[in-house]
Structure 1
Amino acid sequence: MMKPRLTIFDEPMLYTEGLSKLLAQSKIFNSIDICNSQEKLSQQLQEEAPEFLMISSNMLMLTELCKSVESITSKHKNIKIIIFGNSYDVIDIRKLFNKGIKSYLDKSSNYDEFLRSIQCLMADEVYICDNAKNKMISFISSDQSQQKLHIKDPLTKREMEILKLICDGLSSKDICEKLFISINTVETHRKRILLKLNVKNSVGVVKYALENHIID
């Protein structure tokens, strides 16, 4: 089996070069390239996209990171993206997986966990680091975890549709473009959903959807 190629999109150079040398010793990858600018990464993806791409949250804000992941995976279906996040919350991690990443690590992840994630990806599995996994368990089990919320006024078909898009991490602007409705209409639906579910924000919406098996 041919060894995969890895590209690291991160900075500073001292850190990336050190990681590159460490990984070279593991002999997992055929080659390891370092990109420290978006221009350089775009050029490399155009010329010869690697099988594995590690992107650090040092390089892009979360919104830009999501757009970048979506763009890369739409053009390069076989690329496996590993994100090194900056302690993102559960909704943001879910959003990144929905956009196409295959592995999520954060600042608490060590080298051994990075290698575990690579092994999972090589076996065509996804990987989420222990710290983020614990966050998810805590998120699902906290507050009223043992009881489902019973709402007096059921959600309409459109509200249920919007609820699922909120759980996918879409903004009001994304939802209005996807459903071809005005942003004011989306905001009205959002307010009604929060009111009906008796929750304060999107985190409460996702929690309700998970507890009631509306989403997996």
Structure 2
Amino acid sequence: MNNMINIALVDDEALFIEGLSLIFSNVDNINVVKTANSGLEFLKFLDDNQDSSLLDIAIIDIQMKPMDGFELVESLKGKYQDLKIIVLSSHYKSNIVGHMIKLGVSAFIPKNANRKLLISVVESVHQFGVYFTETDKEMIVQYMTNSTKKISLTSNEELSVREIEVVKLICKENTNQEIADKLFLSKRTIENHRQRILDKVGARNTVGLVVYAIANQLHPILQ
């Protein structure tokens, strides 16, 4: 994995973006490739470059105009599925967190988070594909208990005992190599397990697997 993490910052508050840019300028392994003051500006940047691989992660705000964060995430996930998204917002409530996770967001950070947490989340999302705190997971559970907003991610095929073990270790943010070491298997075998699990549950990525685990009472937080 490339040690340099290329990110974009999308927020309609110019001073806030400047502050984040300053924070990341002092972090050796994080490079701010693009800053944008609107979702439309950011989408135009991606469309003009025709290469989403320029970026690993986009950190975006929810409350923006004319395109809000919800609309931006939906557009990004529709066109640039490999781009990981971190939402940084003052709106930290279960219905918002749950909905954003449903859309495929990799992490959700309140705007009053400190510098250490911000950097840690970026590094974790880059390495593992997801970062959820215990509070985030509890909010997802709360969101999903509302029958009108349940996340529909179920499997037509039952997971094997081994596959369930792998899912639980993925939820604990273990890498493929770490899972292989713990289960005394090869890394390639774990990669194959992961792909079969994704195919079975209809998930596209680690975020989807975590949502599946919560929905089916497999996540360690529910044990």
Matches within 5 A, 1:5-16: 5-16=6-17
> What is the total number of aligned residue pairs between the two structures?
152
Q: Structure 1 residues 211 and 98, CA, compared in 2 at 3 Å: closer, same or farther?
A: closer
Q: 1:166 aligns with which of 121, 136, 149?
A: 149
Give the fraction of aligned pairs with identical amino acids, expressed as a percent: 17
Structure 2 residue aligned with 1:118: 122
In the superposition, relative to structure 1, how do residues 40 and 136 fare at CA in structure 2: closer, same or farther (>3 Å)?
closer
The corresponding residue for 2:4 is 3
Once the two structures are TM-superposed, the CA of residue 116 in structure 1 deviates from its matched residue by 1.2
1:65 aligned partner: 69
Contact kept? 2:12, 2:37, Cα under 8 Å: yes
> Which secondary structure state, in structure 2, belongs to the residue aligned with residue 46 of structure 1?
helix
Q: Aligned to 2:86, what secondary structure does the other structure show?
A: strand
Structure 2 counterparts to residues 100-119 of structure 1, below 5 A: 100-119=104-123
The CA RMSD measured in Å over matched residues stands at: 3.5
Question: What is residue 91 of structure 1 aligned with on the other side?
Answer: 95
- Which amino acid is 1:54 matched to? I
1:5-154 alignment runs, 5 A limit: 5-48=6-49, 49=52, 50-59=55-64, 64-129=68-133, 132=136, 139=142
- Bigger Rg over Cα: 1
Determine the C-alpha separation between the residues in 1 that align with 2:140 and 2:43. Answer: 33
Q: State the distance in 1 between where 2:86 and 2:41 align.
A: 18
What's the secondary structure of 2:149's corresponding residue? helix
CA distance in 1, matches of 2:61, 2:93: 16
* Structure 2: tracts of 5 or more residues without a match: 153-212
| Deviation readout 1:162-211 (Å, 9 max, x if unpaired) | 94x62139xxxxxxxxxxxxxxxxxxxxxxxxxxxxxxxxxxxxxxxx99
Cα pair 2:6 2:57 within 8 Å, conserved: yes
Q: Indicate the SS of the match to 2:30.
A: coil
Amino acid at match of 1:10: D
**1:8–1:214 Cα change, 3 Å:** same
Deviation for aligned residue 1:57:
2.2
Matched AA of 2:72? S
After superposition, give the CA deviation of every residue in 1:137-171 in whole Å (9 maximum; x if it has no partner).
8x59xxxxxxxxxxxxxxxxxxxxx94x62139xx
SS of alignment partner, residue 15 of structure 1: helix
Separation (CA, whole Å) in 1 of partners of 2:124 and 2:102: 18
Q: TM-score, structure 2 length as denominator?
A: 0.56
Q: For 1:124 and 1:31, how far apart are their aligned partners in 2? A: 20
Ranges in structure 1 where 5+ consecutive residues have no aligned partner: 141-161, 170-209
Structure-1 separation of matches of 2:89 and 2:79: 23
In the other structure, the counterpart of 2:209 is: none
